[in-house]
Amino acid sequence: MSSNQPPPLVDYNLFDSDLPLRESFEREGASWAHDLVHELGRLAGTQQAIDWGFQANANPPMLHTHDRFGERIDEVEFHPAWHDLMKVAVGHGLHALPWREPRPGAHAARAAGFYIWSQVEGGHGCPVSMTYAAVPALRKEKTLAALWEPLMTTLAYDPGLRPATKKRGVLFGMAMTERQGGSDVRANTTRAVPAGSDGEHLLTGHKWFCSAPMCDAFLVLAQAPAGLSCFLLPRVLPDGTRNRFHIQRLKDKLGNRSNASSEIELDNAPAFLVGEEGNGVKTIIEMVNHTRLDCVIGSASLMRQAVAQATHHAAHRQAFGKLLSEQPLMVNVLADLAVESEATTILMMRLAGAFDRSSDPEEAHFRRLAVAVGKFWTCKRAIAVVAEALECHGGNGYVEESILPRLYREAPLNSIWEGSGNVNALDVLRAMGREPESVNAFFTEIDAARGADPRHDRAVEELKRELSNREDLESRARRLVERMAVVLQSSLMLRYGDPAAAELFCSSRVDRDWGHTFGTLRSGGNLKSVIERHRPRFQ
């Protein structure tokens, strides 16, 4: 064994070794799913699953536009490791748990499972997330839902392009973004021409970013006679012929290499109206709300894996005669990272819980605002956390085999997708303007920690003052949303977090006794205990 090289972080249970997750899991009513998530935690720590993650990224998908006879096939071939990852994800219901088992805590249970399994590999989470998110949007069209939902919610991963009726399980994607506009989907130029009495239309146009193009069907936005509308577009038509969904090329992109993102052309492609014609954004926003939750889960997952790796590394690597985990400045960095990870995990589970309880109007209002606030902040923080955790490994963190480069490349995506930072921050303003009840629900949650810490109480008052100032709101949106996120997290940390971590959160993030980089906590706190709480243990 080489001297002074840490043992690989393998054969540990990602659920068991994650105290903030386990505590939130119980609190949000997901304990009935313990065995499922515990098993995912075990699997995620095995060498085999870790290998799948590396193999799927070392062997990117390949596009085959035509067969040997020159006929279009528009197929993407994935490495077997991708299919192994997908089989576990779908087999454990990460694409459908709350729709299969609509019981209290189901979104929270799924969030925990998705967070754990995404730590193995992020790319395959994309179709898993989109399938989960498509169900509530599709339910706006009962006939289509009756046909597709049973297939979207089976535990069978059944890849390959065949008609829905010939499949044991299907996956969904989404296609909104076009060359001339992504955030501004109203600029979509894809046209939908009515072609039948059952909502059938023919779609012609392009989509500039269409991820996971081997999904069985897509929710697509297109301009119908009454305006922008949402359609279900199957890749294979009921008679077994391929729909005219032509993959132009795969994107050569930052981020994971396992998943395919494509540019597509639709050429009179049959698709079916979902929801009211002209109300496409309102329809697809149901899907977007759920994928936004997944952006928070994905960010929490990246942070957790980065912090697990960094705390593990530092506990085994020495420099200047001492373990890194004993060096006071490294202790400061690791504790600061752990605090951020804990605050994110707790927020993620609280948001998932709000999806579970959204039949309660108060929770629905909270969800509307808090998901937008949480997505903006956690996606941004993940980038900084992963970069710093990478540096904790020194040069070893720069090497692909350490997983840190993969996490680093993946980190910016969640902030771009489903509402890039600015658009997301502006959406928070929109939610507050259009749905004042969401502001009340948000403050009810924040106020629940009143009296627990004077720094939190002061921050709440300051936030209220900031929000009542209507001047230059748009320009101040990021500043406001950042503060809303921090105060929401402090409320959660004070009530549910590790007291030592909550104290550090308040002194740094809330009271701003902090620098601009991680590792700038005021010294003297109980930093080592915070790190130990976050360091994964072997079984």
Ligand X SMILES: Cc1cc2nc3c(=O)[nH]c(=O)nc-3n(C[C@H](O)[C@H](O)[C@H](O)COP(=O)(O)OP(=O)(O)OC[C@H]3O[C@@H](n4cnc5c(N)ncnc54)[C@H](O)[C@@H]3O)c2cc1C
Chain residues in the site for ligand X (CB under 6 A) = 173-177, 181-184, 209-211, 253, 255, 261, 413, 416-417, 420-423, 426
Please tell me whether residue 482 adopts helix, strand or coil conformation: helix
Q: Which residues pair with 232 in a beta bridge?
A: 219, 272
User: Residue 337: enclosing H or E segment and its boundaries?
Assistant: helix 328-356
Tell how far CA 209 is from the center of its chain. 17
Q: How far is the CB of 339 from ligand X (least distance, A)?
A: 28
Q: How far is the CB of 476 from ligand X (least distance, A)?
A: 13
Q: How far is the CB of 422 from ligand X (least distance, A)?
A: 3
Closer by beta carbon to ligand X, 380 or else 456: 380
Q: How far is the CB of 231 from ligand X (least distance, A)?
A: 13
Closer by beta carbon to ligand X, 308 or else 426: 426
Secondary structure letter of residue 506 according to DSSP:
I
Closer by beta carbon to ligand X, 42 or else 257: 257
Closer by beta carbon to ligand X, 113 or else 255: 255
Cα 161 to Cα 40: distance, rounded to the nearest angstrom: 28
Closer by beta carbon to ligand X, 104 or else 181: 181
What separation in angstroms does the CA of 478 have from each of 415, 425, 434, 481? 13, 6, 19, 5
Pairing of β 217-224 and β 172-175: parallel
CB-based closest residue to ligand X: 182
Q: How far is the CB of 362 from ligand X (least distance, A)?
A: 30
Q: How far is the CB of 526 from ligand X (least distance, A)?
A: 39
Please report, to the nearest 10 degrees, the dihedral formed by the alpha carbons of residues 388, 391, 393, 394 taken in order: -170
Cα 490 to Cα 495: distance, rounded to the nearest angstrom: 8
Closer by beta carbon to ligand X, 193 or else 250: 250
Cα 308 to Cα 293: distance, rounded to the nearest angstrom: 22
Q: How far is the CB of 220 from ligand X (least distance, A)?
A: 9
Buried b (16+ CB within 10 A) or exposed e, 246-260: bbeebeeeebbbbbb
Strands (E), 19-81: 62-66, 72-77
Closer by beta carbon to ligand X, 41 or else 173: 173
Residue 533 carries which side chain, given as an amino acid letter? Answer: R
Closer by beta carbon to ligand X, 93 or else 255: 255
3-state SS track over 420-462: CHHHHHHHHHHHHHHCHHHHHHHHHHHHCCCCCCHHHHHHHHH
Q: How far is the CB of 435 from ligand X (least distance, A)?
A: 20
Closer by beta carbon to ligand X, 212 or else 484: 212
Q: How far is the CB of 133 from ligand X (least distance, A)?
A: 11
DSSP letter for each residue of 522-535: PTTS-HHHHHHHHS
Where residue 162 falls (left for φ over 0; alpha for ψ -120 to 50; beta otherwise) is beta
